[in-house]
A and B are shown apart, each in its own frame.
Chain A
C-alpha cells in the first residue's frame, strides 16, 4: 500500500463525527469577518461603517500578488470595523456585521442543480478564483489563484487532490467527499484545466473506504482523475509527504511542489473552486467539524465565515463543564483558542473540544536520547538537536541543520516519551532563523 517512506506516526484516529451528515448551521446574529484570511499581504477594506451589505458582497480586496479577497458571508449592516481577537490570539482588524435577513448578491446561483459544463478558459478560471477569494481550505489558506499560476520555466504535470485528512478527529473532508463528491470532481476538472494538466490523483487514506469507493465510482465519468488509496499515517496530508506517497517524487529542500511538476489542492478547495467557477459563489462558507470526546453531538457543520466559535459548540450540544482547551483545527497542528468569541475563518477545518485532563501536557523530564523524534520526523530532521540548538540560541547552527524544513507536524512532540516540548522550541528557532535570513537580505 502506498505511503510516504520517512517517519510518521499513527495517533488514535477518534473520528467521532465520521457518520454525521453535514448540517447547515443557522446564520448567527453577528459575524466578525477578519480582513486578512489568507497567507500573504493583508487585504484592504473597501466598505465603510454603517453600510448595508448583501451576502457575497466584497468586503476587502487583495492588495498584493499573494493576497486574497474577502466577502461578506451574511447580509446586514456593518456596525464596526474594529480589531477582534482571532485564532492567532491577537486582535486583528475585522468587519463586524449585524445580520438582517439573508439577501444574496445578484448573480450567485443558489440552485442545487449541478453544472458540469466548464465554459471558462484557463485565464478566466484564474481570474474567477482571485475574484471569489478562493484559498486553500486545508488550513494553510494559500490563495488558490496563485497556485494555478505556474512560475516561468516550470511545468505542472500532475494535480494532486488531498483527501487524506490525516489529522485525528477531523471528518469534514471525509463527509464532503461523500456528500458533494460529484461537485468536487467537477472542481478537480476545473483545476486541471486551470493548470493545463491531464492527470489528477486524489489521495485518500484507507480509513475512509466509503469515500474511496464513492469517488472511484465517480472517476469513471471524469477522465484523467484517479483515486489513490493510501496507508493511514500522519502527516500524509503534508504537501511534500502526499507527493512522495502518490508519485514517489521528492520535493527538494526549500523548494515548492511545482519543482517536481506537482500542485496539491485540498478536496474542500476543489468544491470551493466548483462553486466559484460554475455557480459564481464567493468563498463565504465552509464545512467545519465540531468534535471532542466530551461533546454531546460531534458533527460536521456548514458554517458562514465569521460565525463565532461558541455558536458551533452550542449547536453541537453546548460546551461541556470540564472543558480545558478548544482547538481551531486538528489536535496535531491546530491552534488552541484563547477565547470562544473567535470567528470561524477560511482556514478553520475543525473545532476540537478537549477536557481538562486531555488538555494539560505531560510533565517534562530529561531527554533520554531515545531518538524516537528522529525516527518519526517526516522531514528527516533531528528534532532533539534542533530544539537544543534553539533553546541555547544557536540559531545559525540550527539553520545549517535545516530547521526551516520543519513543517511543524508535531510528530516529534507527540512521540517524545520524556514529554519535551520539542516543537515549541523548533517553532521558536524557525522564527528566529527567519528573522536572521531576512536581516541578511537587507544588508
Chain B
C-alpha cells in the first residue's frame, strides 16, 4: 500500500519536472520580446476596442504610441484629457491639447415634424432602408430611426426615443469615438465640440433639397434661405447646396442665429431660457416655391 503511494508520488513528480523543463525551453524558443511600455499604455487606455482611433483596437493603439515620438497625430477619442496626459507622461512626451467632442444627431425629423408617408416593412437596418427608398417620411436625408447607430455604439450612449423616433445621444456616456458617424448610412451624425457646459448650437438638418421639397417632407428642414448666415457676426455659418452649416470652431455661441431661422432647424442645447423680447419670436413665413 505504502509502496503504491510512493510510486505514484514519484512518477507524478517526475512528469511534472519533465513537463516544466519542456515548457521552459518552449517558452524560450517562442519568446516574444515586447516593449514593457506597451502594457503600461494599454492599461491606461479604455480597453473598449472601439476603433475610434482608426487602429485595430486598444492594444494596437498602445503599440503605435510606443513607436511614435510625437503624439499629436495619434488620438484616442475616448480617453479624456486626463488619461491622455497620463499616457504622455508615461512615455515622457508632451500631451496634445484637444477639446472634448461629442456626437450630434443632425436631424429633427420626428414623427410630428416629418409625418409618415409610407409604411416601412423590411429588415430593421438603416443601411438597407437607405438603399431601398427615401424612408417613411420621404426625406432623402433624414433619420430612418432603425438604429444602426445604436447597434454600433459600444458605450450604450445612444437610444432611439420612442416618441420622436430619433436617436438620442447621452452627454455623459458619449466618448466621441465616431463609430456611429460611420455607421449612419446618411451621415447624419457629426462629431462636434462638446462645448462649455455642454452648450452647442447646430443646424439640425442635412437636407440638401431645395426649400419647397424639403419643407414638404419636414416642417423643421433647413431650406437654405441664408438668414442665419447673414446674422452670424463671426462668419461661422456657410451655405452649400441649400444647406446651412455652422462651423463649431468659429461659432462663439452668441445665439443670434437661432431666432432668425424660419423653420426652427437650428438647435441650441443646454442654454438658459431666453428672455422674451417682442419681435424675436416672430418667425417669417417661408415661401414654398422651389
Any A–B CB pair closer than 8 Å: yes
Q: Which residues of A approach B to under 8 Å, CB–CB?
A: 82-83, 85, 88-91, 336, 338-339, 359-361, 391, 421, 424-425, 427-428, 431-432
Let me know if A89 and B132 touch, CB within 8 A: yes
The complex places the Cα of A361 from the Cα of B125 at a distance, in Å, of: 16
Is A425 a contact of B125 with CB atoms below 8 Å?
A: yes
Selected interface stretch from B35-43, B52-60, B114-122, B263-271: B114-122
**B138 and A338 form a contact (CB under 8 A):** yes
CB neighbours (8 Å) of A359 from chain B are: 121
**CA–CA, A106 and B133, complex, Å:** 40
Residues of B within 8 A of A88 (CB): 133
- Asked if B128 contacts A428 (CB within 8 A), the reply is yes
Shortest C-beta distance, B168 to chain A (Å), equals 23
Contact of A90 among B122, B127, B133 (CB under 8 A): B133
A432 to chain B: which residues have CB within 8 Å?
127
Contacts of B138 in A (CB 8 A): 85, 338
- Complex Cα gap A425–B124 (Å): 10
Question: Which residues on the B side are within 8 Å of A82 (C-beta)?
Answer: 290
Beta-carbon contact of A360 and B121 below 8 Å: yes
Number of interface residues of B (CB under 8 A): 17
Chain B, 177-223, CB within 8 A of any chain A CB: 209, 213
A362 CB, min distance to chain B CBs, angstroms? 11
**With known contacts A338-B117, A338-B118, A89–B128 Cβ distance under 8 A:** no
A-B CB contact pairs (8 Å), 27 listed: A82-B290, A83-B209, A83-B213, A85-B134, A88-B133, A89-B133, A89-B134, A90-B133, A90-B140, A336-B133, A338-B133, A338-B134, A338-B138, A339-B117, A359-B121, A361-B121, A391-B125, A421-B122, A421-B123, A424-B125, A424-B128, A425-B123, A425-B125, A427-B128, A427-B131, A428-B127, A431-B127
In the complex formed, the residue of B with least CB distance to A89 is B133
Min C-beta distance of B159 to chain A, whole Å: 20
B213 contact set on A, CB distance < 8 A: 83, 91
| Shortest Cβ gap from B160 to chain A (Å) | 18
**SS of A interface (majority):** mixed
Cβ contacts under 8 Å, A424 to chain B = 122-123, 125, 128
Expressed in whole angstroms, the Cα–Cα distance for A424 and B138 within the complex equals: 20
* Chain B residue at minimum C-beta to C-beta distance from A431: B131
Kindly identify, within residues 268 to 290 of chain B, every residue whose CB is under 8 Å from any CB belonging to chain A.
290
Q: A90-B134, A424-B123, A425-B125 are in contact. List 16 more A-B contacts (CB 8 A).
A: A89-B132, A89-B133, A90-B133, A90-B140, A91-B140, A91-B209, A338-B134, A338-B138, A359-B121, A360-B121, A361-B121, A424-B125, A425-B128, A427-B131, A428-B131, A431-B131
* Cα–Cα, bound, A431→B129 (Å): 12
In the complex, what residues of B have CB within 8 A of residue A421's CB? 122-123
A88 to B123, CA, bound (A): 17
Instruction: Verify B123–A428 contact, CB threshold 8 A.
Output: yes
Query: When each residue 33-69 of chain B gets 1 if its CB lies under 8 Å from chain A and 0 otherwise, what string results?
Result: 0000000000000000000000000000000000000
A372 to chain B, nearest CB (A): 19
Within 8 A of A (CB), among B73-128: 117-118, 121-123, 125, 127-128
10 pairs of A and B residues whose beta carbons are closest in the complex: A89-B133, A424-B123, A421-B123, A428-B128, A338-B118, A89-B134, A424-B122, A424-B128, A90-B140, A338-B133
A336 to B121, CA, bound (A): 10
- Inter-chain CA distance A308–B133, complex, in Å, is 18
The answer for the CA separation of A85 and B138 in the assembled complex, in Å, is 9
Closest to B185 in A: A431
* Complex: A115 Cα to B125 Cα, angstroms: 53
Question: Quick one: closest B residue to A360, CB to CB?
Answer: B121
What's the Cα separation between A361 and B119 when bound, in Å? 12
Q: How far is the CB of B208 from chain A (nearest CB, A)?
A: 11
From residue B146, how far is it (CB to closest CB) to chain A in Å? 11
For A427, the chain B residues whose CB sits under 8 A away are: 128, 131
**Complex Cα gap A90–B123 (Å):** 19
User: Considering the chains assembled together, what is the distance between the CA atoms of A227 and B252 in angstroms?
Assistant: 76
Docked Cα-Cα span, A88 to B131, in Å, equals 9
CB distance from B89 to the nearest CB of A (A): 37
Q: Which residues of A contact B131 (CB under 8 A)?
A: 427-428, 431
A325 to chain B, nearest CB (A): 9
CB-based nearest B residue for A87: B133
Q: Which residues of B have CB within 8 Å of A391?
A: 125
Least CB distance from A347 to B in Å reads: 16
Closest Cβ–Cβ distance, residue A434 to chain B (whole Å): 11
Name the distance in Å between A366's Cβ and chain B's nearest Cβ.
16
- CB-CB under 8 A from A85, the residues of chain B are 134, 138
Residues of A within 8 A of B121 (CB): 359-361
In the complex, how many angstroms separate the beta carbon of B111 from the nearest chain A beta carbon?
Answer: 17
How far apart are the CA atoms of A360 and B120 in the complex, in Å? 10
The residue of chain A having its C-beta at the shortest distance from the C-beta of B131 within the complex is: A431
Query: Could you tell me the distance in whole angstroms from the C-beta of B180 to the nearest C-beta in chain A?
Result: 14
Residues from chain A with a CB closer than 8 A to the CB of B209 are 83, 91
**CA A152 to CA B175, docked complex, whole Å:** 55
Whose C-beta in chain A lies nearest to the C-beta of B183? A393
CB within 8 Å of A: which B120-162 residues: 121-123, 125, 127-128, 131-134, 138, 140
A406 to chain B, nearest CB (A): 14
Distance of A83 from chain B, by nearest CB (Å): 7
Which of B121, B133, B140, B290 has the most CB atoms of chain A within a 10 A radius of its CB?
A: B133
B218 to chain A, nearest CB (A): 14
- How far is the CB of A20 from the nearest CB of chain B, in Å? 29
Complexed CA–CA distance, A227 and B242 (Å): 56
A360 cross-chain contacts in B, Cβ below 8 A: 121
Would you give the shortest CB distance from A361 to chain B, in whole angstroms?
Answer: 5
Alpha-carbon separation in the docked complex, A90 to B121 (Å) = 17
Q: Which chain A residues border B134 with CB–CB below 8 Å?
A: 85, 89-91, 338
* B125 CB to nearest chain A CB (Å): 6
Closest chain-B Cβ to A272's Cβ sits at a distance in Å of 28
Q: What's the Cα separation between A330 and B125 when bound, in Å?
A: 24
Expressed in whole angstroms, the minimum distance between the Cβ of A33 and any Cβ of chain B is: 19
Residues of A within 8 A of B133 (CB): 88-90, 336, 338
Chain B residues whose C-beta falls within 8 Å of the C-beta of A425 in the assembled complex: 123, 125, 128
User: In the complex, what residue of chain A is closest to B117 when comparing beta carbons?
Assistant: A338
Interface centre among A88, A338, A361 (most CB of B within 10 A): A338
